[in-house]
Amino acid sequence: MEMYMHQEVIIAGMGGQGVMVIGQLLAHAAMHEEKNVVWFPAYGPETRGGTADCTVILSSEEIGSPVSSSPDTLVALNQMLLDKFVHSVKREGVILVNSSLAKAPDDRTDCKIVEIPANDTAADLGAPMAANMVMLGAYVELVKPVRLDSIKASMQDVLPERHHSLIPLNIKALETGASIVALGQDAARKVTSS
């Protein structure tokens, strides 16, 4: 018997940051695991350099609505979109902040806030365009809505064929994001147990 699971996440950033791609990867990974899923994209009115966000709802039960007014989690890739959505996250929710481009909010003490230097990390890996994958890896490790392996398995389907040569780099960025969170949690555990 599978445990009940319901997770609503908003992933938000600028056009070109790969927001929709990581939302689609999450949705495909959920389907791969036979979960119910909704992927709902939204674009700002600008033609270029506009905002982009998507809502992904993953559940072990049927999903009533594709819209989430108070998500469990926000994955914010830049400051403008962090500011836009930070107050919509439900109490005791999770806010993942790309600390390379955004400053964590100090007025959401009721949420778990995790800072991930996604752009810096991706640049260190030699894959500056993979900051989105670093954030996705961190989110999956922290919240565990799907398995990391399911995300990796979905890359072939989601990424356009012309980008398949970049899958190994994307996987490395994904794993690095996950390890940043895992190391942070280990450090937190050591502090509380000492």
Per-residue pLDDT, averaged over 105-125, amounts to: 95
94 exposure class (CB count in 10 Å sphere: 0-12, 13-18, 19+):
buried
Helix or strand run (H / E) with residue 41: strand 36-43
Q: Which carries the bigger pLDDT value, residue 64 or residue 6?
A: 6
The whole-model pTM stands at 0.92
Residue 189 in this model has a pLDDT that exceeds 50 = yes
Checking if the pLDDT of 157 tops 90, the result is yes
Q: Give the end-to-end CA distance of the chain in Å, rounded to a whole number.
A: 37
Distance CA 159, CA 181 (A): 25
Task: Catalogue all structural domains in the chain, each as residue range(s) with its CATH number.
Answer: 6-193 (3.40.920.10)
Count each helix (H run) and each strand (E run) in the chain, helices first.
6, 6
